[in-house]
Amino acid sequence: MLQMNNIKKIFRTDLVETHALRDFSLQVEEGEFVAVTGPSGSGKTTFLNITGMLETFNSGSYLLDGQDVSQLNDNQRSKLRNEKIGFIFQSFNLIPDLNLYDNVDVPLRYRGFSAKERKRRIENALERVGLSARMKHLPSQLSGGQQQRVAIARALAGEPLFLLADEPTGNLDSLMARQVMQLLEEINQQGTTIIMVTHDAELARRAQRNIHIVDGQVSDYQQLQPVLEVAEA
Amino acid sequence: MFEIRPILSALLRHKSSTFLIILQIAITFAVVVNASSIIKQRIEMMNRESGMPEEHLLTLNVNAFGANYDLENNIRADIELLRKTPGVVDAVAINQVPLTGNGDSGGISATQEQYDNRESIPVGFFMGDSHTLNTLGVKLIEGRDFNEQEVIYTAERPEVKSSIVTKSLADKLYPNGDALGKPVYIGGGEYVTIVGIVKKMSGSWVHSSLFEDSMISPIVSLDRFKRILIRTESPQVTAKLLGEVEGLLIARNSERVVTGVRSLVEHRARAYSGDNAMTIILWSVIILLVAITALGIVGIVSFNVNQRIKQIGTRRALGATKLDILRYFVTENILITSLGLMVGTLLTIGFNVYLVDQYDMPSFNWYLIPVGIIIMLLVGFVSVLMPALKASKVSPAVATQSI
Ligand SMILES: Nc1ncnc2c1ncn2[C@@H]1O[C@H](COP(=O)(O)OP(=O)(O)OP(=O)(O)O)[C@@H](O)[C@H]1O
Ligand SMILES: [Mg+2]
């Protein structure tokens, strides 16, 4: 479903050249729940951005659902993003001026669905995250965990191929973090592929597969970790 | 596609800043439309057809001081001299000259009763000999011109029998259009008969209601102060005579002073100088206000874009194209501008009612409202474009940046 080969990403500022990803290769299959860990500055967010086509890369190849991403222009990438990917951000990124209903509506409007179809999808998505009673509330009227659930509803409403989450629990206390993690697990069990960056080793361990990024590359040692854990158990 | 409802609900969460920009647009619109209305009225007034070949006309005053100065013969001799001067079409000794702001006026009416009931019509009184119409260059459309026999030279109150009126005045006196041959009461129980009607002729006071209502009588009043009007063949002759006419008259008889030698073009410019200045001031006000509003829009949209960088990145991450982002800010701005213009239209009408009421201004050119709306929408669109383009260039990657 997702195949990256030898991706290279270099950030050039006036004097510094940062090799955020070097010869980065990864394959993710449909239905997987992948947790991405790694030290700060190792390239996790860069990886996620490239996966989600928020950023371009310097060399290498990336096939998303069989499509060569490097051949697409900005509009085509936007469209593909809108149709195939759901994003979940560390700081939720809800639009503060819009109520929950309108927040979930944002990607659906860009999709060009009819009003009726949008309504159905918004109500379903909010139902799935248990917030359908608060559709008319503003984000500021919700707790952090609830806001992140709205963001998850927004990501789900377009029925994406996969979810990309950058430290979705990073701004939440441990109780709320576990609730959000539980929700993501449910969603994964219902068939949605999830790639999640996290600093929380405990949460990472709950994922089906762990990827450890060090210095812009997948670390071989950490890839063995889940296997070792299974052996321990 | 055009996210009007969510944009509106987002705007309503920022009532005060939205309200301020709406108010600014509304006030600008009201002032601009009313100022344009005034400009338009002034320009229309300045462009009124004068009915006279102004570039061919010049005027001057003769002040006689000689002790035994023979008024009648000197006037006759002066006029004869001028009429014979090369390049001169005609000349006349006249009591007032159009557009100059000086002259005689009074009231007349179609019947004695109207006169006695103070229902008289205000008019400008012109007096001159049988060359008056030809010198003024006005067009006779009904009846006849004066003949030499009926011209009276006098220093007393003359007893005239005939007069020529402008069409505008004829229609006021006799609305059925049958003024020719009818009497005109001029006070003291006297009346004169309308023998001719001229199509159009300017009065002396450009801002007066009697500007187009004049009556000409075949009289040359014998005064030491005489106005003379000269019609030439061309603007070149007019220019030449402006420099030479004084010498010409003084050479014939030096017992007088020649003053106020001016072309009618100059008189026109003087008569309308206030209106011209007003037009320029109002134009400046319009340009200034529109520029301030445009800059205000640029400022507030730039501010909004900077405030919403993260939101823009998030929208991009969720699938918005660059065009979607551009459209978002343009739509938002068109909504604000439209609200401003709605309020502005009400203000405009209110403001105009006040102006008409307080300053007796002629009321409004209604089509200026739609024209103003289109112009303000264009100004709003152009102003929002630059910051909106900047917004569309925000990278979707800012969505995942911390803070
Ligand atoms: N826009 C950018 N311009 C320049 N350098 C950048 C940019 N984005 C990331 N980098 C650099 O690339 C490297 C990888 O950054 P990235 O954000 O992917 O790390 P990360 O693993 O997500 O770190 P963290 O755990 O702190 O979020 C870092 O050295 C970072 O400074
Ligand atoms: Mg990161």
Q: Is A40 in the pocket of ligand 1 (CB under 6 A)?
A: yes
Q: How many CB atoms lie within 10 A of CB B278?
A: 15
Residue of A14, A44, A48 with the most ligand 1 atoms within 8 Å of its CB, for mutation: A44
B165 and B37 co-located in one domain: no
Distance, in Å, from the CA atom of B47 to the CA atom of A195, rounded to the nearest integer, reads 76
pLDDT tens-digit map of B116-125: 888 889 999 9
A contacts of B396 (beta carbons < 8 Å) = 53-55, 78, 81
Does residue B115 lie in a domain region? yes
CA distance A222 to chain B (A): 25
Residues A7-31 as b/e (b if ≥16 CB within 10 A, e otherwise) read bebeeeeeeeeebbbeebebebeee
What integer best gives the mean pLDDT of chain B? 92
Does residue A185 lie in a domain region? yes
Inter-chain contact B397–A55, Cβ cutoff 8 Å? yes
Q: How many CB atoms lie within 10 A of CB A222?
A: 16
Residues 6+ apart with CB under 8 A from B28: B289, B290, B292, B293, B344, B376
Q: Is A107 in the pocket of ligand 1 (CB under 6 A)?
A: no
Closest atom of ligand 1 to A49 CA is: 18
Does residue B386 lie in a domain region? yes
Give every residue of chain A whose pLDDT is below 70, as ranges: 220-233
| Window from A163-167, A227-231, B60-64, B258-262 with minimum mean pLDDT | A227-231
Residue A228 structural domain: 32-45+73-232
Question: Does pLDDT of B245 surpass 90?
Answer: yes
CB–CB of B56/B232 below 8 Å? yes
| Window from A218-227, B218-227, B272-281 with minimum mean pLDDT | A218-227
Supply the pLDDT for residue A112: 92
Question: Does pLDDT of B388 surpass 90?
Answer: yes
Supply the pLDDT for residue B159: 82
Q: Which residue has the higher pLDDT, A233 or B343?
A: B343
B237 and B294 co-located in one domain: no
B355 and B290 co-located in one domain: yes
B156 and B231 co-located in one domain: yes
Chosen from B318, B335, B392, B402 to mutate, greatest number of chain A CBs within 10 A? B318
B341 and B243 co-located in one domain: no
Does residue A5 lie in a domain region? no
List residues bridging with A211 in a β-sheet: A36
Inter-chain contact B318–A75, Cβ cutoff 8 Å? no
Question: What percent of chain A stands above pLDDT 70?
Answer: 94
Please state, in angstroms and as integers, the Cα–Cα distance from residue B127 to each residue in B63, B84, B154, B199, B237, following that order: 18, 22, 11, 18, 25
Give the CA radius of gyration of chain B. 32
Does residue A27 lie in a domain region? no
pLDDT tens-digit map of B297-324: 999 999 999 999 999 999 999 999 999 9
pLDDT tens-digit map of B73-84: 999 999 999 999
CB–CB of A169/A198 below 8 Å? yes
Supply the pLDDT for residue B288: 96
Q: Would you state the structure tokens that stand for residue B80, as one six-digit string? A: 């004869």
B250 and B103 co-located in one domain: yes
Last residue of one domain, picked from the residues B201, B223, B254: B254
Does residue B192 lie in a domain region? yes
Comparing CA positions, the residue from B169, B163, B95, B92 lying closest to residue B131 is: B92
Does residue B57 lie in a domain region? no
Please give the sequence-ordered ranges of beta strands (E in DSSP) within B189-264, or none if there are none: 190-198, 214-217, 219-221, 225-232, 256-263
DSSP track, B41-72: HHHHHHT---SS-GGGEEEEEEEE--TT--HH
Q: Which residue has the higher pLDDT, A112 or B67?
A: A112
pLDDT tens-digit map of B88-106: 999 999 999 999 999 999 9
Supply the pLDDT for residue A43: 95
Greatest distance between any 2 Cα atoms in chain A:
53
Q: Is A42 in the pocket of ligand 1 (CB under 6 A)?
A: yes
Supply the pLDDT for residue A83: 96
Supply the pLDDT for residue B2: 64
Distance A20 CA to ligand 1 centre (A): 7
Residues 6+ apart with CB under 8 A from A116: none
In what helix (H) or strand (E) does residue A216 lie, and over which residues does it extend?
none
Q: Is A13 in the pocket of ligand 1 (CB under 6 A)?
A: yes
Please state, in angstroms and as integers, the Cα–Cα distance from residue B178 to each residue in B108, B110, B193, following that order: 17, 12, 12
| Number of structural domains chain B divides into | 2
B101 and B31 co-located in one domain: no
For chain B, list residues whose CB is within 8 angstroms of any CB belonging to chain A: 1, 3, 6, 9-10, 13-14, 310-311, 314-324, 395-397, 399-400, 402-403
Supply the pLDDT for residue A219: 87
B299 and B387 co-located in one domain: yes
Question: Does pLDDT of B403 surpass 70?
Answer: no
In what helix (H) or strand (E) does residue B165 lie, and over which residues does it extend?
strand B162-166
Does residue B53 lie in a domain region? no
Does residue A211 lie in a domain region? yes
B218 and B93 co-located in one domain: yes
Q: Is A56 in the pocket of ligand 1 (CB under 6 A)?
A: no
CB–CB of A48/A59 below 8 Å? no
User: Helices then strands (H, E): number in chain A?
Assistant: 8, 10
CB–CB of A215/A20 below 8 Å? no
What is the mean pLDDT of the segment spanning B136-163? Answer: 92
Distance, in Å, from the CA atom of B1 to the CA atom of B18, rounded to the nearest integer, reads 23
Residue B339 structural domain: 4-47+273-399
| Number of structural domains chain A divides into | 1
Give the burial class of B192: count Cβ atoms within 10 A of its Cβ; 0-12 exposed, 13-18 middle, 19 or more buried.
buried
Does residue B342 lie in a domain region? yes
A contacts of B307 (beta carbons < 8 Å) = none
pLDDT tens-digit map of B349-376: 888 888 888 877 666 778 899 999 999 9
Question: Does pLDDT of B279 surpass 80?
Answer: yes
Distance, in Å, from the CA atom of A198 to the CA atom of A215, rounded to the nearest integer, reads 16
B85 and B130 co-located in one domain: yes
Nearest Cα residue to atom 12 of ligand 1:
A20
Distance, in Å, from the CA atom of A147 to the CA atom of A138, rounded to the nearest integer, reads 10
Supply the pLDDT for residue B353: 85
Does residue A213 lie in a domain region? yes
Chosen from A40, A48, A95, A198 to mutate, greatest number of chain B CBs within 10 A? A95
Comparing CA positions, the residue from A184, A181, A186, A176 lying closest to residue A201 is: A181
Does residue A189 lie in a domain region? yes
B204 and B140 co-located in one domain: yes
Long-range contacts of B63-69 (CB under 8 A, 24+ apart): B63/B224, B63/B225, B63/B256, B63/B257, B63/B258, B63/B259, B64/B224, B64/B225, B64/B226, B64/B255, B64/B256, B65/B224, B65/B255, B65/B256, B65/B257, B66/B253, B66/B255, B66/B256, B69/B224, B69/B255, B69/B256
Distance, in Å, from the CA atom of A47 to the CA atom of A68, rounded to the nearest integer, reads 17
Does residue B259 lie in a domain region? no
The helix/strand/coil state of A112 is coil
Does residue A120 lie in a domain region? yes
Q: Would you state the structure tokens that stand for residue B200, as one six-digit string? A: 């159009």
B40 and B97 co-located in one domain: no
DSSP track, B306-331: HHTHHHHHHHHHTT--HHHHHHHHHH
Confidence of residue B113 (pLDDT cuts 50, 70, 90): confident
Does residue B63 lie in a domain region? no
Distance, in Å, from the CA atom of B388 to the CA atom of B330, rounded to the nearest integer, reads 7
Does residue A68 lie in a domain region? no
CATH number at residue A228: 3.40.50.300
Supply the pLDDT for residue B350: 87
Supply the pLDDT for residue A231: 53
